[in-house]
Amino acid sequence: MVQAAQKKKRLGVLIGGSGLIGGTLAHYFKTKTADVIDIRAPSSKKLSIRMAEDIKAYLRRVRPDFVINTAMAALDSDAQLAFEVNYLGTVNLARACCALNIPYIHMSSASTLPSGENLTEEDHLPLSPHLSNYAKSKLMSERTLKYMGKQQGLDYTVIRLAIVYGEHDHKIQGFHRLFFTIADESMPFLFTKKGIQHSYTNANKLPYLVHHALDHREEFSGETYHFVDKDPIALDELILTIRSYLELKRPNEIYFPYPVIRSGKYFLERLAKALNWFGIGVRLPPELMFLESFYKPQTLSSDKLEESSFVDPFPDETVITALPKLVIYYLTRWGHLNLITTFNEEFFGCNDLEDDFRFNPRDLLNSIHADSTAPFVDVQDKQ
């Protein structure tokens, strides 16, 4: 009996486990499915998917039952890194999964889609040299996985994500960069047009889909799914809602036209280049590459997933309802990291130990020595 239960336990390899999406998946599998699924999440130092040999050696050794890939090179990576991590890494993982005859779950992105409304899984941008390195590598990955599904019998599922929101984005990217800009009061006006809608993806719900897709291969194999909140949200409405949660006055409700913003961006890029010339390193947020999309709608249809056997675990949770939780998490984190100073201790609360650490380190040290250095009893071996 015990043996049968042990046999059933599956082992998965998660690539990108330190990232926003990978971290959320790792947490889910460790806390919710530990009895039936074990997850190995090697860091990029242990297993870099740029190296085909690393992938082969690791998977040969671990012999997993499935692989989930949430790795990506930084958004503004050069062509080589984007190609090697986002595309070649994907292809090599897929080749290894094919050889081991195991499912491969791949995270893709709405950057493979044009602007427009109610876009379906069949839609995609034409592959062209003018795409950003990120979009090009994600699009090529989708195309090759489809090809390998047909030609090599690869058992894969592509999950296309839109603008992702959730806790633990330690790099402050995408949605969280927008949120940070508002919290930091560095957005003076609205960099969008009235009512321009986009789709948003809830990171916390994604693990439930991945788990479901792993359990229902016959239905999900060889398929692409959009994973977004059912209803899109207008960017101006979202920004103004965040502003009111934070009780801020900025950004002003003035809509800045795109040509003005584009000129500003051009000027900033030149300025950054000039300053770099003098040895002053200036790095503009990579999200500036998406500036144009603030002025164009991009909404993804969720019909295909809704018609599948997957059931949304928290149907009422949206980017708007998640805001209070996100506000508390990120303002606390950014405050502790001294990234924002607008929100004072009133918000973060008062901590006696922290006060002692700041003002009475000697007393704190003595009190810890007096009563808090004995070995943990609950960690000691029971004799």
What is the maximal distance between C-alpha atoms in the chain? 74
What whole-number distance in Å separates Cα of residue 297 and Cα of residue 235?
Answer: 9
Read off the tokens for 294: 């603030």
User: Which one of the spans 19-27, 118-126, 300-308, 360-368 is the region binding ligand NAP (CB under 6 A)?
Assistant: 19-27
Which of 13, 14, 22, 331 is the binder for ligand NAP (CB under 6 A)? 22
Beta carbon nearer to ligand NAP, 43 or 252: 43
Which of 12, 16, 207, 297 is the binder for ligand NAP (CB under 6 A)? 16
226 exposure class (CB count in 10 Å sphere: 0-12, 13-18, 19+): buried
Which of 33, 44, 132, 308 is the binder for ligand NAP (CB under 6 A)? 44
Q: Is position 46 an interface residue for ligand NAP (rule: CB under 6 A)?
A: no
Q: Output the CA–CA distances (angstroms, integers) from residue 175 to 163, 203, 238, 243, 323, in the order listed.
A: 6, 12, 10, 14, 12
Q: Name which of residues 56 to 85 contact ligand NAP (CB under 6 A).
A: 70-73, 85
Q: Is position 49 an interface residue for ligand NAP (rule: CB under 6 A)?
A: yes
Question: In sequence order, what DSSP letters do the residues of 38-63 get, joined into one string?
Answer: EEE---TTT--TT-HHHHHHHHHHH-
Beta carbon nearer to ligand NAP, 107 or 256: 107
- Nearest 10 degrees: CA dihedral of 209, 211, 214, 218? -50
Beta carbon nearer to ligand NAP, 44 or 332: 44
User: Which one of the spans 157-165, 254-262, 282-290, 369-377 is the region binding ligand NAP (CB under 6 A)?
Assistant: 157-165
Q: Name which of residues 169 to 208 contact ligand NAP (CB under 6 A).
A: 171, 173-174
Beta strands in the chain (DSSP E): 10-15, 37-40, 66-69, 104-109, 116-119, 156-161, 163-165, 197-198, 200-202, 223-227, 233-234, 298-300
Beta carbon nearer to ligand NAP, 183 or 228: 228
Beta carbon nearer to ligand NAP, 24 or 192: 24
Neighbouring-strand partners of residue 202: 165
Q: Name which of residues 321 to 340 contact ligand NAP (CB under 6 A).
A: none
Q: Is position 48 an interface residue for ligand NAP (rule: CB under 6 A)?
A: yes
SS3 of residue 164 by DSSP: strand
Beta carbon nearer to ligand NAP, 22 or 149: 22
CB of 11 closer than 8 Å to CB of 62: yes
Read off the tokens for 48: 């870099």
Q: Residues binding ligand NAP: what is the number (CB under 6 A)?
A: 26
Q: Name which of residues 84 to 123 contact ligand NAP (CB under 6 A).
A: 85, 107, 109
User: Which one of the spans 42-50, 221-229, 230-238, 286-294 is the region binding ligand NAP (CB under 6 A)?
Assistant: 42-50
Instruction: Residue 112: name the closest of 95, 87, 94 by CA.
Output: 87
Beta carbon nearer to ligand NAP, 50 or 256: 50
Which of 26, 50, 209, 305 is the binder for ligand NAP (CB under 6 A)? 50
Sequence length of the chain is: 383
What is residue 2's DSSP assignment? Answer: H
Q: Is position 164 an interface residue for ligand NAP (rule: CB under 6 A)?
A: yes
Beta carbon nearer to ligand NAP, 165 or 256: 165
Give contact residues for ligand NAP (rule: CB under 6 A).
15-16, 18-22, 43-44, 48-50, 70-73, 85, 107, 109, 138, 161, 163-164, 171, 173-174
